[in-house]
Amino acid sequence: MTDISTTPRPETHGETHGQFLVAALYHFASFPRFAEFREPLQAVCDENGVKGTLLIAHEGINGTIAGTDAGIATVLAFLRAQPELVALEHKESRASSMPFLRMKVRLKKEIVTMGVENIDPNKIVGTYVDAKDWNALISDPETIVIDTRNDYETAIGIFKGAVDPQTKTFREFPDWVRNHTGLHNKPKIAMYCTGGIRCEKATAFMKEQGFDEVYHLKGGILKYLEEVPREESLWEGACFVFDDRVSVTHGLEEGEHTLCHACRQPLTKADLLSPHHEDGVSCIHCHEVRTDEDRERYRQRQKQIELAKKRGERHLGS
């Protein structure tokens, strides 16, 4: 068991800007008893006031949780007490308000869904690159840099010069690779994602496809934004995160994006000025594809959300 009191905690920035600690974590491991682990894990999270989502599967664990520093420390210690998860790593940031409504521990077929059988990062994977060495790799003209995230994520931020596959889901990524023979034109492939899990699985797939020099950013964009000074950064924009903060920037400070609750797209301040924007109902991204019936349904939901706010409560649909 890892002693949480003696294990170095990742450096956090802007700690005074948020009372809630947010821990993003994943670990690939053979975990055949994952189904029986769900209830004990849910109980530990609930007992310590921790909220968020954790996915567990035969291949390991993935998710993001938030709570008090003590609550998060207890949950992480519980996870690392499991033989399969003893080497679990996590990344920390802060939130000014609780970014999740509830705690969900879900059983899944994959902890990140690619939909390709027999891709196992425990057996074959690309080469990790630390955040401090990432700029040199992606600045090399012999490197193709690929963003493995989805289009709504890349829309608000991307590494300079990166290729954006513009996928709707991670399931589309394997076909995108198969259909882009030009990826073989340069010897090095450098891949990245939010926290590291998608590009770790993607590098395993790329190795299976015959690519030799495949690299991925250890700890993902979050680790890069935490460790690399803004003045040295090759990151452009903000990083989408899957909680109520919506986005983070350098130093893992909370970004300025909000979320359209009709289509779940991140919105900039400029997007909020669009005549197509209506809180909880539509935005510049989804106005043309929603029906009047859709919008009326969303308006009724938005009314319930606003009523809940007036009562000092939080509506589950918000």
Among 45, 193, 199, 239, the active-site one is: 193
Is 263 tagged catalytic? no
Q: How is 140-199 classified by DSSP, letter by letter?
A: STTEEEEE-SBHHHHTTEEETT-B---BSSGGGHHHHHHT-GGGGGSSEEEEE-SSSHHH
Burial of 314 (0-12, 13-18, 19+ CB in 10 A): middle
Which H, E and C letters describe 198-240, residue by residue?
Answer: HHHHHHHHHHHCCCCEEEEECCHHHHHHHHCCHHHCCEEECEE
Q: Measured between alpha carbons, how far is 161 from 132 in angstroms, rounded to an integer?
A: 18
Pair 251, 225: CB distance under 8 Å: yes
Using N-to-C axis directions, what is the helix angle for 131-139 and 220-227, rounded to 10°? 100
Q: How far is CA 269 from CA 275, 282, 283, 290, in A?
A: 13, 15, 12, 22
Q: Distance (Å, rounded) from C-alpha 175 to C-alpha 46?
A: 40
Q: Sign of dihedral through CA atoms 12, 16, 18, 20? A: positive
Active-site residue set? 193
